[in-house]
Each structure stands twice: as C-alpha cells, then as structure tokens.
Structure 1
Amino acid sequence: MEMGTPDICDKYRDLLQVAQPVFKSFGGLSRMSADVETLKIKHDNALFWEILKQPGHGRILVVDAEGDYCAVMGDRMADLAVKNGWKGLLIHGYIRDSALLKTMPLGIWALGTCPMKGHLTRPGHLSVPLRFAGLDIDLSNTLYIDEDGVLVSTDAFAEFAEYFP
C-alpha cells in the first residue's frame, strides 16, 4: 500500500505545518522527504547558483524568492542540483525550462513558470528562517512533499521513509 502526506497528517496532525496549496510539481520526482537548507533571495539568483554548486547531501533547498514574477531557476541550475546531490527544491517563486525539468531526477515545487529570468543585482541570505505559504521553515525542519501537499515538521517520521525516496 502506498503512503503519502495524507497518512502523515492523519497520524501526526499536531506536529505538522501544512503549506497553502500554491505549489506545483515541475521535477522528475513526484515525492520527496529530506532535511532542509534555506535561502532567501529577491530577483537575484547568484547565491542560488553558488549553493547548487556545493554538495547537497540529499537535502531539499528551500528558496524564498518572495513570489516575485521572474524565474529564479532553470534547467542548467537543476542540472547542477542533480550533479551535486540535492534531492529537491521548494521555491516560493517561479522557474523556467519546465519541459526539461520534468526529465530530471529531482523534486521541484514552485509557484509556476515565467520565461523571464531575474536580475543579478542583490545578495541573498543563506541558512535563515523563512516564512511563506503559511509555513515557518528553518534548518531544524524536515519536509514531506508529494502530489497532495507540502508538510513541514521538526520531526522525521521513520515509518514513512520508504514512501518518500
């Protein structure tokens, strides 16, 4: 029997935050769970590029791009993420090259697509607490993401590990 985020909610309701239903899946993985790294940016994805060049160690990079309507990630960045061991990305912002992203072994959830990229003018902030879509996310969190939603918890639920590669 397949298990997912609804089953986690049924068992651990009081230990979870549930994201507002604003994220869409764009990557080749339809579900994932991992510890997080956080990044806050605005229009500028230069630091985002640098982080994806570093070993991901199977983590999920959570990026708060403040929902601005410009793409902060595309296929070349996704390729870097795969090569460097990132499991996935949760982006409070937009992506581009969506057809190519679906072919990559990477979980990618974002608000949507935009063909225009942002500017390279502002610095970002790494490993900071983030707040968006009804979530408060920091480095102590584990994310569970599938077709039904995005969950954040300070606990890792071992009995669900096999259902979230």
Structure 2
Amino acid sequence: MANPATSEICDANHALVTNGDVRVLQPIFQIYGQCRAFSGPIVTLKVFEDNVLVRDMLETPGDGRVLVVDGGESRRCALVGGNLGQLAQNMGWAGIIVNGCIRDVDEINACDLGVRALGSNPLKSSKKGHGEKHVPVNVWGTIIHDGEWLYADTDGVLISKTQLSV
C-alpha cells in the first residue's frame, strides 16, 4: 500500500492537527535512503553520542516500524552509519529518524530505507550502552511517544497518536 502524502494527511485530518493529535516536526531534517516516503508505528530511543542501544534495537525485527532516535541534537558524532542502515533494511525497519547525525551517507543512500537526520559527521559515537528505550522523546519541541505513528515524505514528517488514512 502506498504511503499517503503528508500534505494530504494534514488536509484530511485538520481537526486532529488543530487539537494536537497530529503534529508536524520542525523542517530541520535532511533526507537520506532510497525510501523518500515511509510510515509506521514508532519505537523511541533516547541516547547521547552513544549508539549501542541503536544497534541493539535495529537487531530486532522491525516489522515495518520506524525508529525515532533522540540524540539530543548533537552534531559532534554519528549515531547511525552504513552498517546500521543495512541492518535496519535487512531486519524490516521502515525508517529511522535521528535527532542527531549519521555517517556513511553513500551507503545509507543505497539502502531501501527511509532515513532523516540533522546532517552527517564522519566521527563514530561512543560505545558505552547509555540511554533509554521506549521512553517519550522531545524532538525540537515535539514530544513523541513509543507506539505513535510516523508519516514522512519529501514535504515533512508527521507524528500521530493513531494510524491515519486519507
């Protein structure tokens, strides 16, 4: 099934946008990966300059879900690289949103996966295993909960409390 356009979702669900059940993320993300449009239920992670939990999560079956990684807006290192992009594709994840940086851009762009990030940085992250899984995260003023739905395309990224249709 094709992903509905985010603009169409906003138009068809104006009341949900107005009451906050559908939120539009700030237009700050760069687009990576071959999937320009993707959607799915959200899994959240909160980490800072440490991607051990990112790998741990991507090693589990994605089942069409979207991993939202709150990296604290850090641009000092990458939280996702080409190996993790390939892992996410192989495990069936629909996409990854990184409130931080990625690296190995050419490798990630070759993956059949949707990826959004603040930018790229060639420096890898630390490997201490610090962070939290399945917790509410704050991405540029938008609170995102585990189990909500994400819709992304070239117009932007939407967060919804429930699965939507147009």
**TM-score (norm: length of structure 1):** 0.91
Pairwise CA distance, 1:112: 0.6
Contact 2:4/2:165 (8 A) holds in 1: no
1:95 to 65, 90, 102: 102
The answer for the alignment partner of 2:158 in structure 1 is: 151
User: Take 1:97 and 1:13, find their aligned partners in 2: how far apart are those partners?
Assistant: 38
The answer for the alignment partner of 1:81 in structure 2 is: 88
Name stretches of at least 5 consecutive residues in structure 2 with no aligned partner: 17-21
Name stretches of at least 5 consecutive residues in structure 1 with no aligned partner: 160-165
SS at match of 1:28: coil
Partner AA of 1:151 in structure 2: L
Partner AA of 1:104 in structure 2: C
User: Take 2:4 and 2:49, find their aligned partners in 1: how far apart are those partners?
Assistant: 37
User: Take 1:20 and 1:13, find their aligned partners in 2: how far apart are those partners?
Assistant: 18
SS at match of 2:13: helix
The answer for the alignment partner of 2:11 in structure 1 is: 10
1:43 to 23, 31, 49: 49
Partner AA of 1:84 in structure 2: M
Output the aligned Cα RMSD. Answer: 1.4
User: Take 1:54 and 1:131, find their aligned partners in 2: how far apart are those partners?
Assistant: 24
Equivalent pairs counted in the alignment come to 158
Contact 1:18/1:134 (8 A) holds in 2: no
Pairwise CA distance, 1:121: 2.9
The answer for the alignment partner of 1:25 in structure 2 is: 31
**TM-score (norm: length of structure 2):** 0.90
Pairwise CA distance, 1:122: 5.0
2:73 to 44, 67, 73: 67
Pairwise CA distance, 1:140: 3.2
% identical aligned pairs: 37
Pairwise CA distance, 1:11: 1.6
